[in-house]
Structures are given as structure tokens and as C-alpha cells.
Structure 1
Amino acid sequence: MNRTTACATTTGLPLPGQPAGQALGASAPFPPAVVRDLRERSGRSPHQLSFGSHDLVVVTGLPGSGKSTLMRRAVRGARIDSQDTRDRFDARLARHLPYAVYRPLVRLAHYAGLHRALRSGAGIVVHDCGTQGWVRGWLAREARRRGGTLHLLLLDVTPGEAREGQRARGRGVSRYAFARHRAVTSRLLRTVEKGRLPEGCGSAVVLDRQAAEVLKRIDFTR
């Protein structure tokens, strides 16, 4: 597995499909279809990830791993997060109905919003729950169509850290759902660690909790 050579003074890291030098203090540009492992860097990991203007970025990991937190804090540009959609529905319906009743409406609204955002042609960061493989395939096709690249940001946290993250946000998933997410995420992580990327992905970046906290900016070059 290719490991990044970024050091503590590195402020940015360019991803495949964009010229070198477009991120401040960037290392050399990545070759196509590579994996960068930013885990266990003791805080010496990039503060910024930059992507091409037509690229798509999928953020995936266990429920409670910090996907939404990272996106809200770091993304500069369009982001599509199913959690934002759920929050809007919760504000209107949670006092009257259990979530299971209106979950299909949340998903429909989320994918409709994603479809609209993709039509703009701009770079987008997308929250991926990990269990809907067809979504990643859809995004890979869309990235190719627009002349961009699909990138994967994988948050690798322990089940205990993920459960704690769920408790901190006051919202958890069932044991069955968590086990399903854990199995899917573990398979994806093992595949990526072997240097094999999901079909259609041009690169993958693996982050642990500390690397995610160090990362302050995810943006798209123009």
C-alpha cells in the first residue's frame, strides 16, 4: 500500500487528475489509481486535500466515524450529506412520527438533491453510508461523463470509537444495521489496503480519527 510522504509542514495534498502546485505546500501529484494511507501519523498529516474542479469525492466509514463532522468542518464547495436531509425532515416530523415511517422520503429527497447537484458539473463531496454500492457506481459514471475523477475518503475508526460517536450525536443505529455497516466497511478497507480500488475510483485516502481532525480543508481547484 502506498503511504503518503507528507510531513508536518505540508498544508496540502493534490489528488490524481489535477496539475501539481495547485495546493499550497503540496507534495508531488499522485499517479492514477493510488492509495494514500494517512493513519498513524501522530498529527503529521496534510491539513488540506485538493481535487479537480469536476471531480467527485465520496466520504465513507462506519456510522459515528465522523463523516458528517468532517464534511461540515472542512469542505469548501458543494457537499451532499444524507444527514442534512434527515435533519430537515426530523425538524418537521420527528415529534409526530418514528423515523422508520418517513425514512423512504428522506432517501428520496437525498438522492433527488444529489441528482440536481451533479447536473451543475461542479466538484462535490458526497456522504456515503457504505451499504449502497450502486451509489458509488452512479458517481463513478458521472465523474467519467464530466471528465473528472471519483475519489474515496475512507474513515477508519474502531467500532468502539464509532459507537462513541453515535452516543455523542445522540443518535445510533441498531445492532443489525451496525453489523452490516461494519462488514461492508471492513471489506472495503481490506481491499483498499491491498491497493485495489472500487471500480471507477481514481484514488483513495485512508484517515484515522487523528488524521481527520488534522484535516482542515477539502476543496476543488478551478
Structure 2
Amino acid sequence: MSEPSVLELGPRDLLVVAGLPGAGKTTMLRHAAAGLSVLDSDQVRERLGAVVPAAVPYRWYRPLVHAWHRLRIVGRALGEDGPIVVHEPSTRASTRALLALVGVVSGRSVRLLFLDVPAEIALAGQRSRGRVVRARSFARHVRRVGKWREELLAGEVPVGWRSVRVVDRVGAGRMRLVAKVSRWESVP
């Protein structure tokens, strides 16, 4: 196996791990982000799912999950020290603009780690986890990511963002996210 690819996060970094649903963001973060603060909408979904009656379909409370997830991002960005990692597909331009705004308001550098995975592989990833995004919703994600993906592959950094890194699934499997330790924080 090849060496891990390390991405160092500064104390005021907000790293957004983006890509199509099923691209492997959750799997990558489970292995790559040990010890870091990770915000994932699935955390909210699980909390709400524990109190919402089983007869209520997820699609009915999905907007609440996404709103709560975004509020958590803003709250942590404003009120927490250290780097923050956000799991967010970010296929909508409005979501990316909101994240850039959060960076400005909180004084954080917003960075992007984009998992570049073809739609058919992302769909297979959804099937393997046992939770498939509705076909129309997934098609919207694929359509929205098209032009943005081309810009990212061309090395363009979105307005308001500090950096972009694009990895495929193999690269995501080798990724390690670490908090940068200053020489003042280290103990002799």
C-alpha cells in the first residue's frame, strides 16, 4: 500500500469534504479525520430519527435535517477553536456561497476537498451503504456538479475559498487529515 496523503489543517480552517452522494465522503472521514471535529448531516438525521415516529418518512423531515446541519456549521465555526471538517455534497452554488460567507464571518479559511467520483460509482456507493438518494435528486446533484467539477479540475478556486484539492476514490482512501501543531504547542 502506498503512503498516506496528508492534508494539514490550520487552527482556523474550515475544510469542506464535498462530492456526489455515495462518492465515499463518510468512509474517507471515518478513517482520515481521527480526532478532528467533523460535522455530518447524518449525525442530525440519526438524532432526529431517534425521536421522529417510524411512520414518518425521512423526506418529510429532510429539510429540518439540512437546516439543523447548516446551523451547526455556523455555530461551530463561530464558537469553537481548532479546525472544523464539514461533510457536505456542496453541489449547489448557494451552499458553496453560504460556506464561503461562514468563513468570512467566522474568520476561518474555507478549504475544499472534492471527491471526484463518476456518477455510476457514486450510485454503487449508495447501494452498498443501503441508502439510495431518490433518482431525481441524484440527477440534480450530478447536473449541478458538472460545470463546477470542470472548474475544479482546471485548478480554479471558488470565490471566498482558500484552496481546493481534488482526489479520486483511491486518493480518498489514502487521505489523512491532521491538525497542524505549532511549535509553541508542542511539548519538549
Distance 1:190 1:74, change over 3 A: same
Q: CA deviation at 1:147?
A: 4.2
Q: Kindly indicate whether residue 114 of structure 2 is the aligned counterpart of residue 142 of structure 1.
A: no
Task: Pick one of 179, 182, 186 that aligns with 1:220.
Answer: 179
Question: Percent identity at matched positions?
Answer: 36
Normalised TM-score (structure 2): 0.85
2:92–2:144: 8 Å Cα contact kept in structure 1?
Answer: no
Distance change >3 Å, CA 184–CA 44, structure 1 → 2 = farther
SS in 1 for 2:18: strand
* Partner residue, 1:78: 37
In 2, the alpha carbon distance for the partners of 1:112 and 1:150 equals: 17
Tell me, yes or no, if structure 1 residue 152 matches structure 2 residue 132: no
Amino acid across the alignment from 1:140: A
Distance change in 2, residues 1:143/1:220 (3 Å): farther
Give the drift of 1:99: 0.7
Cα-to-partner distance string for 1:139-179 (whole Å, 9 max, x where unaligned)? 32333444442111110112221111101111111221111
How far residue 108 of structure 1 moved from its aligned partner, in angstroms, is 2.5
**C-alpha distance in structure 2 between counterparts of 1:184 and 1:63, whole Å:** 12
Partner residue, 1:97: 56
Please tell me whether residue 133 in structure 1 is matched to residue 93 in structure 2.
yes
Q: d(CA) in 2 for partners of 1:211 and 1:132?
A: 24
Separation (CA, whole Å) in 2 of partners of 1:178 and 1:164: 12
Q: Root-mean-square deviation (CA), in Å? A: 2.0
Give the aligned partner of residue 30 of structure 1: none
Aligned mate of 2:6, from 32, 42, 48: 48
Matching residue of 2:67: 108
Counterparts of 1:137 and 1:205, CA distance in 2: 18
- The runs of 5 or more residues in structure 2 that have no matched partner are 182-188
With over 3 angstroms needed to count, the CA separation of the structure-2 counterparts of 1:169 and 1:78, relative to structure 1, is same
CA distance in 1, matches of 2:46, 2:148: 28
- Specify the code of the residue in structure 1 equivalent to 2:56: L
Residue correspondences, number: 179
User: What TM-score do you get using the length of structure 1 for normalisation?
Assistant: 0.73
Bigger fraction of residues in helix: 2
Distance in 1, matches of 2:172 and 2:111, equals 16
Query: Relative CO higher for 1 or 2, CA cutoff 8 Å, sep ≥ 6?
Result: 2
Inter-partner Cα distance in structure 1 for 2:37 and 2:59: 28
Partner of 2:166: 206
Contact 1:45–1:214 under 8 Å retained in 2: yes
- Cα deviation per residue 1:10-67 (whole Å; 9 max; x = unaligned)? xxxxxxxxxxxxxxxxxxxxxxxxxxxxxxxxx6564321121101111111110011
- Following superposition, the deviation at residue 191 of structure 1 comes to 0.6
1:77 positional shift: 1.3
| C-alpha separation in 2, matches of 1:205 and 1:133 | 18
2:82 corresponds to 1:122:
yes
Change (3 A) 1:45 1:88: same
How big is the shift at 1:78? Answer: 1.0
SS state at 1:111 partner: helix
Could you tell me how far apart the structure 1 residues matched to 2:75 and 2:123 are? 33
In 1, the alpha carbon distance for the partners of 2:118 and 2:148 equals: 15
